[in-house]
Amino acid sequence: MAIRIRYMYVLLFVMVSLTAHGIGAGKVLVVPPALSGSHWFPLASVGQALAGRGHEVTVVVSQDIVAKRRAERPELHFESFLDQGSRARLEVMTGQMSEMAEQPVFRIMQHLHGGLIEMTRQCDLLLGDGDLMERLKQAHFQVVITEPFISQCGAIVAAHLGVPHVALLRGDPSGLDYQATGVPRPPSYVPTIVSGFTDRMTFLQRAQNSVVSCVSPVMFQWFVENMHYDQLRKYIGEEETLVGVLAKTDVWLYQMDPLLDLPRPSMPNMLNVGGILAREAGPLSEDLELFMQSSGSAGVVVVSFGSQAKTLTMERAEVMAAAFAPLRQKVVWRYEGEKPAGLGNNTKLLAWLPQNDLLGHPTTRAFVTHAGSNGVYEALYHGVPMVCTPLGGDQPGNAARAVSRGLGVRLDFNTFTTETLHKAIIQVLTDKRYQETAARLSRLHRDQPQPPMERAVWWVEHVIKHGGLPHLRARAVELPWYQYYLLDVAVFLLAVCSAVLGSVWYRCSFVCRKVCCKSGGKLKSQ
């Protein structure tokens, strides 16, 4: 009898646990883009959070990096494929992007085209690995999580497997996400992701934003659709389009927050999870903690350029080192390469640093950053003002919006000098307005009914539980362009109005002629 009661308690505990989670263990497939760094961490973190809730999470990566990924995330399962060096070549090309800022447009486009070729090659090798794709089919995954940034390989994999799709992204310069959801993007107050504008644009900025909003998506979409043309027809269907594949996405998780990324139109299946990597600061290593505490009341300045740290030239490194050396504050700098000659005794170089934990440390006073979205949101979460020196991509926009909110100042990475960088850091450190604004916005950002990571995990589990969420997709994407813009209705109404006005004109003319004829007859008779 006692054993039976014990079993009943165990069963009750299991039922309560399942009810609390709302779902049993699911099978999740993560298909990250060929790019790593800031594009990999959010996907990996969501996967790890799902694994922590009992789900079986499998990640598909290239063979040359699978050992590193397993060591980083032992909670996840990994499947691999041979990519013949395309990922490594793409990493090299990505690292050169900071050097391309001063190059002619033709050279930049040539560089971009080379990157797209490598992405296409890797996607071909992934989809063409028959044994791998068969294993993925036999696994019967319940959801596929991808980042559709330029390359849409993950979405094609989800469609090929016939599995619900969740997209986790910062934004897509091709604009395919907006087409796939049917969301309008008015250029009058929605700046493009690659611009340095806010929602308060001058006339010239609105004109520029309008041109870029029209030209940039067309250019990117032509590239992206061409790179996936053969894959769509081979693995999905002859009549399928890339927009059609993306339109089947059940949930779009945007690493955005209106507090920084400004309000914009959205659909019910488009959720904001900006700051998904930010969390309470964890303990530092003993030596790093001692260094932070040794700063005293002056505090610490954290310097990090993310995955771009290894691309800094010695010239720029010397300029930065000379700017940090006179500071009263200690400096923790993520840096790879030869040690700058002008490095001060107050500066500690690290090839990798726990960025979130450092920004959340009570001695941290400022953050010098390239304005990558992950770093900007971690600084926002911990209330740390910034000196932004954007390199490219979405970074100029991130910097512009951070500055517009009063979170810091912005410098041009290619032109700042030792004096201007030092002056900007001192300005952020000494002007109380930056500290006060950062603290206020941090409180606003944290004051949410659900942390961004919990929100992301809840929606993924919601998709698993119900096998997809087609009821959240707007029908806008299914409409032909002339119906979407109501051109057929406009033509019909114009025709009706023309017919009515024509009829009235004809009747008035007829009455006038009759009256005139009668008047003329009377005059003749007189």
The predicted model scores a pTM of 0.87
Return the top range by mean pLDDT from 107-111, 422-426, 474-478.
Answer: 422-426
pLDDT of residue 159: 94
Count the Cβ atoms, other than its own, within 10 Å of residue 136. Answer: 21
How far is Cα 335 from Cα 357, in angstroms, rounded to an integer? Answer: 17
Q: Give residue 525's pLDDT band: very low, low, confident or very high (50, 70, 90).
A: low
Q: At what angle do helices 130-139 and 153-161 cross, to 10 degrees?
A: 60
Return the top range by mean pLDDT from 81-85, 376-380, 412-416.
Answer: 376-380
Weakest mean pLDDT among 189-193, 364-368, 415-419, 430-434: 189-193
Q: Give residue 118's pLDDT band: very low, low, confident or very high (50, 70, 90).
A: confident
pLDDT of residue 96: 58
Pull the structure tokens for residue 520.
């003329």
Residue 444 phi, psi dihedral angles, 5° rounding: -65, -45
How far is Cα 193 from Cα 439, in angstroms, rounded to an integer? Answer: 26
Question: What percent of the chain has pLDDT above 90?
Answer: 59
Mean pLDDT, range 102-129, rounded to an integer: 75
The DSSP symbol for 285 reads P
Pull the structure tokens for residue 433.
């307005």
- For the cut 80, the answer to whether the pLDDT of residue 373 exceeds it is yes
Pull the structure tokens for residue 28.
């999740």
Sheet order of strands, 251-254 included:
77-81, 56-62, 27-31, 143-146, 165-169, 251-254, 270-272
Count the Cβ atoms, other than its own, within 10 Å of residue 190. Answer: 20
Count the Cβ atoms, other than its own, within 10 Å of residue 294. Answer: 11
- For the cut 80, the answer to whether the pLDDT of residue 68 exceeds it is yes
Tell me the pairing of strands 56-62 and 27-31. Answer: parallel
Using alpha carbons, select from 138, 148, 143, 157 the residue that is nearest to residue 60: 157
Q: Give residue 61's pLDDT band: very low, low, confident or very high (50, 70, 90).
A: very high
Pull the structure tokens for residue 191.
């700046």
Across-strand partners of 77?
Answer: 58
Using alpha carbons, select from 122, 93, 162, 106 the residue that is nearest to residue 32: 122
Count the Cβ atoms, other than its own, within 10 Å of residue 186. Answer: 11
Place of tokens 């089947």: 248
Q: 383 by DSSP, 3-state: which?
A: coil
Place of tokens 């929602």: 199
Pull the structure tokens for residue 223.
């590239």
Count the Cβ atoms, other than its own, within 10 Å of residue 102. Answer: 9
Count the Cβ atoms, other than its own, within 10 Å of residue 358. Answer: 24
How far is Cα 136 from Cα 151, in angstroms, rounded to an integer? Answer: 20
Rg, C-alpha atoms of the chain: 29
How far is Cα 404 from Cα 400, in angstroms, rounded to an integer? Answer: 6
Residue pair 192/213 in contact by the 8 Å Cβ criterion: yes
pLDDT of residue 99: 56
Q: What is the DSSP string of 321-336?
A: HHHHTT-SSEEEEE--
Tell me the pairing of strands 77-81 and 143-146. Answer: unpaired
How far is Cα 167 from Cα 42, in angstroms, rounded to an integer? Answer: 11
What is the tens place of the pLDDT at every residue in 432-453? 999 999 999 999 999 999 999 9
pLDDT of residue 7: 42
Place of tokens 């010397």: 318
- For the cut 90, the answer to whether the pLDDT of residue 256 exceeds it is yes
Q: Give residue 20's pLDDT band: very low, low, confident or very high (50, 70, 90).
A: very low
- For the cut 70, the answer to whether the pLDDT of residue 423 exceeds it is yes
Q: Give residue 97's pLDDT band: very low, low, confident or very high (50, 70, 90).
A: low
Residue pair 65/87 in contact by the 8 Å Cβ criterion: yes
Q: 54 by DSSP, 3-state: which?
A: coil
The amino acid at residue 500 is: V
Q: 459 by DSSP, 3-state: which?
A: helix
Using alpha carbons, select from 418, 406, 423, 368 the residue that is nearest to residue 390: 368
Pull the structure tokens for residue 474.
């707007």
What is the tens place of the pLDDT at every residue in 290-344? 999 999 999 999 999 877 666 688 899 999 999 999 999 999 999 988 899 889 9
Which is higher by pLDDT, 17 or 520? 520
Q: Look at the chain and count its residues.
A: 526
Q: H-type helices in 75-175, by residue range?
A: 86-95, 105-127, 130-139, 153-161
Return the top range by mean pLDDT from 30-39, 129-138, 179-188.
Answer: 129-138
How far is Cα 61 from Cα 30, in angstroms, rounded to an integer? Answer: 9
- For the cut 50, the answer to whether the pLDDT of residue 151 exceeds it is yes
How far is Cα 35 from Cα 19, in angstroms, rounded to an integer? Answer: 38
